[in-house]
Copies of this chain bind each other. A is one copy, B any other.
């Protein structure tokens, strides 16, 4: 494994400079070294990073620790037994009175390679988005012109290695220009966010003194506004889920010899899932919307100022209609219940004339402020029971099967609640101003994002304000096959970090 070599090699000793223009320094650095920045980024993407494979995530952590250390950052791998480490770094700036903490997660979603056009951990550069006719091309050589519409395809290209691909060049740019950061910096790279951050709370507890001085957490994660405009967000949805399996006979049966007599799990599951919704897609589970915290004045005002992007997004996604009859930003402030996966025997070429033995649905639940994860799971389970299902936790045995015509095995997934932070704190205003400077215009300010981050731990456990600073293109296919990052968004991230690290 080569190291992320270029950035480190080009670092100059840090020194206060005449010009404090971090944005200009970032821009000219990435214009001069774009090809090397892309190659380093691709190398980082080539490291498999599913949280459940500890060896893989450790390899990522080691590379990131070394990359930080090479820039004079004090680094440390924070450890808990047998789980992915946190890559921690601290850079104290003489005279700085503010501490910014930068959160990134270096693990990625699992990937089913059969559904990808190129291998998930073989970063592949295309001349534009694949669905826009992009074709594969080699990574650029030094000095070669770089089209900002190029896209790099790989798992985690957007979620969440993009900030890492931009952060090291941004630091290098400042040091090369002799510009000192205006804040003390804390780096916190998590390794199991996509697994639901099961140990983040324990890490924050154990290493609480590492974060005592933090004035604001910047969550470097997620895609920008669907309009393509820069975005700052002050809240996130929480997340949890359930997997529901319903049962037919103890084995799959010939659909001719038993069809019309043996119960069909696909029918039982379809009837159950259909009962979750009304025709417009509104969740019909009793109580599902009851615990939602009402929106305040500030949130309403921010919502009213949002650009109207639904129509364009709808057309781009080929949707004649959206669900719920309200704009996306508003719909994201409600909890959701999504059928994320369905499986029963096979379809297509492998389809068989069987009555399958089981049918399974994976259900994702997104939470908003006010929703308790376990309470929301319980509402769904209670609904399943009301549909006449006997709910079990494990595979039902024969006696259970013979006693109950409708059995649902429900496996509850872990998760965490939503979070929201105040939009008018001084440090938040400073961040908004720096972002405005970086992009030459006001960013979209969002009270709540649709995605989920474990921000409640920082706001509740540490009592520190948090803001989400996304950089990826909105169509980056994150969590899905063919995840990608648009090069222009990597450039945006470098410029933005140049501004944030040098904000007054």
Contact = CB atoms under 8 A, between A and B. Distances in A.
Interface of A: 109-110, 112, 131, 222-223, 237, 239, 241, 243, 247-267, 269-277, 279, 281, 315-324, 328, 331-332, 334-336, 338-356, 359-362, 364, 366, 398, 401-405, 449-452, 474-475, 477-482
B255 A266 contact: no
Contacts of A131: 250-251
Contacts of A481: 252
16 contacts: A243-B348, A248-B319, A249-B318, A251-B475, A252-B480, A258-B328, A261-B328, A266-B341, A267-B273, A270-B270, A271-B277, A273-B274, A340-B351, A341-B347, A342-B345, A354-B480
Nearest to A274: B274
Most buried by B among A260, A277, A342: A260
A263 B345 CA distance: 24
Contacts of A477: 251-252
Q: Which of A266, A320, A341 is the most central at the interface, judged by chain B CB atoms within 10 Å of its CB? A: A341
Contact of A346 (B261, B264, B275, B343): B343
Contacts of A237: 256
B279 A271 contact: yes
B451 A257 contact: yes
Contact of A479 (B254, B449, B478): B254
A398 B328 CA distance: 21
A256 B239 contact: yes
A356 B361 CA distance: 12
Those 5 A-B pairs whose CB atoms lie nearest each other, nearest first = A266-B339, A270-B273, A318-B401, A274-B274, A259-B336
A480 B251 contact: yes
Nearest to A272: B270
A353 B267 CA distance: 24
Contact of A254 (B250, B348, B450): B450
A481 B345 CA distance: 10
A452 B334 CA distance: 50
A332 B261 CA distance: 8
B405 A321 contact: yes
Interface centre among A273, A318, A335 (most CB of B within 10 A): A318
Contact of A352 (B260, B267, B340, B398): B340
A277 B237 CA distance: 36
Nearest to A390: B320
Contacts of A474: 257
A25 B264 CA distance: 45
Given A223-B254, A260-B334, A266-B338, 7 more contacts: A248-B319, A249-B318, A255-B364, A339-B359, A340-B354, A343-B344, A343-B347
A112 B331 CA distance: 41
A482 to B, nearest CB: 8
Given A347-B341, A353-B109, A356-B341, A331 B267 contact: no
Contacts of A249: 317-319
A275 to B, nearest CB: 8
Contacts of A479: 252, 254-255, 352-354
Contacts of A248: 319
B254 A480 contact: yes
